[in-house]
């Protein structure tokens, strides 16, 4: 291609740092699909490799902190990263390297999806990794997006109502000086209510629950969409609303493939 035919793109470059999902429904694969659907240029850093599908988690192996650092350096040197998000970081060593790289590379917006607990409540992080997340990474974030299980760990109390969600979102936001979007999908109700706490204000976002058999990857898609919309310059409340609508549409347009019905990340 003749270089004279090339034009500079206004599409923001964004970065996901997280685990690889062999089933393609969550993790870095879900993030990159979401980025492409929302017209941002996705780059990636792999922190761990998993063997999984929505119904089975067979194995996981971590990537060394040195390789994680080099991936971030390579991407940041090659692209003007407008925003980054983190997902499954797996170990304290990786979390500390990601935090250090975020500062060194000057990434302007960091979205932290604190993947500490599975939908069933099983722990994905050891205690030292959770401590590193709290001490090293959360204070650098613009926004954190915990589910209810994760928010209970970060806030230190149980959550069984919207009022509990509001209390926890405020406590997390104030503790780490970040915006907090507490996702309410695990509450037993016909509506899914998420709570945003930002700049001392609470904002509820309610939507009718989509009745689907699988929601694996919905949290990843939400945080990736949020990263994309923030990179495009949208205000936090607007980005949350549009991210929630994106995930709702992806669930409504879920496709049947083999034994699974994954989200449809590109439903137009």
The architecture that CATH gives domain 11-252 is 3-Layer(aba) Sandwich (3.40)
What span, in angstroms and rounded, lies between the C-alpha atoms of 10 and 8? 7
Predicted TM-score of the model (pTM): 0.92
Tell me the per-residue pLDDT of 217-259, one tens digit each, with 9 for 90 and over.
788 999 999 999 999 999 999 999 999 999 988 888 777 888 8
CA distance 239 to 118: 25
Tokens representing 239 are 């980005």
In eight-state DSSP terms, residue 72 is H
Q: Model confidence over 42-76: pLDDT tens digits?
A: 999 999 998 988 888 888 899 999 999 999 999 99
Domain boundaries, the chain: 11-252
């Amino acid at each position: 291609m003749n270089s004279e035919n090339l034009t500079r793109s206004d599409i923001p470059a964004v970065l996901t740092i997280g685990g690889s999902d062999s089933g393609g429904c969550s993790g870095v694969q879900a993030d990159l699909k979401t980025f492409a659907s929302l017209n941002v240029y996705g780059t990636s850093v792999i922190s761990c490799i998993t063997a999984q599908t929505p119904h089975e988690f067979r194995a996981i192996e971590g990537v060394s902190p040195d390789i994680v650092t080099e991936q971030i350096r390579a991407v940041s040197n090659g692209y003007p990263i407008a925003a980054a998000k983190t997902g499954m970081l797996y170990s304290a060593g990786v979390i500390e390297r990601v935090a250090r790289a975020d500062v060194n590379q000057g990434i302007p917006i960091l979205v932290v999806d604190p993947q500490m607990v599975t939908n069933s409540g099983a722990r994905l992080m050891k205690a030292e990794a959770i401590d590193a997340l709290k001490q090293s990474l959360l204070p650098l974030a613009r926004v954190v997006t915990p589910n209810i299980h994760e928010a209970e760990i970060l806030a230190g109390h149980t959550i069984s109502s919207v009022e509990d969600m509001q209390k926890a979102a405020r406590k997390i936001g104030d503790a780490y000086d970040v915006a907090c979007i507490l996702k309410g999908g695990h509450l037993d109700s016909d509506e899914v209510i998420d709570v945003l706490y930002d700049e001392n204000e609470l904002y509820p976002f309610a939507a009718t629950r989509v009745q689907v058999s699988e929601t694996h990857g919905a949290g990843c898609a939400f945080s990736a969409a949020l990263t994309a919309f923030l990179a495009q310059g949208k205000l936090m409340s607007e980005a949350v609303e549009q991210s929630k609508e994106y995930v709702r549409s992806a669930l409504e347009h879920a496709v049947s493939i083999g034994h699974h019905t994954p989200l449809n990340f590109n439903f137009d």
